[in-house]
Amino acid sequence: MMTTQIDEVLSGAVERGEIPGVVAMAVDEGGLIYEGAFGQRALPGGAPMTMDTVFRIASMTKAITSVAALQLVEQGKLTLDGPVPAIDPALAKPQVLVLFDRSGRPLLRPARRAITLRHLLTHTAGFSYEMWNRNMLQYNGISKLPPMSSGRRAAMRVPLMFDPGDRWEYGINIDWVGRLVEEVSGERLDIYMRDHIFAPLGMKDTGFQPTEAQRARQAQIHDRDGNALTPQPFEEVTTPEFFAGGGGLYSTAADYITFLQMLLHGGTENGATILGPAMVKTLGENQIGRLHAGIMKTTTPARTLDVNFFPDIPVGWGLATLINEMRGPNGRSMGSLSWAGLFNTYYWLDPVRRIAAVILMQILPFVDKPAVAVYGAYEKAICEMVDAG
């Protein structure tokens, strides 16, 4: 009966025209407790959503890249609190943007302390995204650096917006973590993840470059203009200079829920140990003290609205995810782990109820109001179902 109610939450949003389509899954420690697919991969008249539909998961990539780096920490190849390996001047000799002079020229100074892996994993290193930082937007406009979407390493060679450790700000930190994984392991990020995370867990539909068969199952991104949802052409698949550890993966609900189950089970799933239990525990603990995470003010409303998932709740950041430090408005327990992807894909892991869930859509802008409403209603329904037993 409760699963029928969850079906109605998701199918109702499709039938009302609020979203083009959605796929959702939830698990507890014993396995699957919910799955559903509704709507279409593309409007109008596209193929129906199915449980194996492929999505661009954007920043849901970050948690996987973080786990890859933590594997190397466990092996003694990286440290959390020493200066990161000097693989690039942007990391070895970071510069902080102070201001722009009257002619618009950026004025920089050396950072007051070294960048650590903990800084990068917790978004306290000083790097930012131009879609949530006007100074970064202005700097990119005059620096003529290639955009991050180009896949060129030069795109990452930007100044910090503040000294490492001074505050939390969402940025390209995990892209740098991906580069560290490559340099320290000696493998391209896609190969490293395939061999050390995806293959051991059986995540057969997750990667940076979809195959033809996966492309045939991929949902298209829809731009929202008022009440209209317009599908966009598929992005070109290329081989970049670096694979975006901060947001480049394609995946399915089943694959990503397997990754979350691994964390739920203390680092082991499908007979494969990905991380040790002590590291998984540390990953889920707030690492930024009293710094407040999760607030981002848009500079590009077509791409993202303002972000603040928990406006009345203290929020921290672990070594991979956002952590709400009080009970969430839709029922998730204090200490739950969560984050999202630019195209309105979301997940959370509730360590008290011992459940994990994903809900995947393909819509811009990020935190699209109808999509977030569906996410909230889905979360509430999952929590009520679990609590009802």
Alpha carbon 99 to chain centroid, angstroms? 30
Amino acid at 284: G
Token pair belonging to 120: 């990068």
Token pair belonging to 331: 């029922």
Contact of 61 with 242, CB cutoff 8 Å: no
Is 59 part of the annotated catalytic residue set?
Answer: yes
Token pair belonging to 40: 């279409």
d(CA 258, CA 269): 8
Amino acid at 94: P
Which of 34, 170, 192, 347 is flagged as catalytic?
A: 170
Which of 34, 59, 192, 336 is flagged as catalytic?
A: 59
DSSP calls for 25-91: EEEETTEEEEEEEEEBSSTTT-PBP-TT-BEE-GGGHHHHHHHHHHHHHHTTSS-SSSBPP-SSHHH
Q: Are strands 363-364 and 222-225 parallel, antiparallel or unpaired?
A: parallel
Active site residue ranges: 59, 62, 170
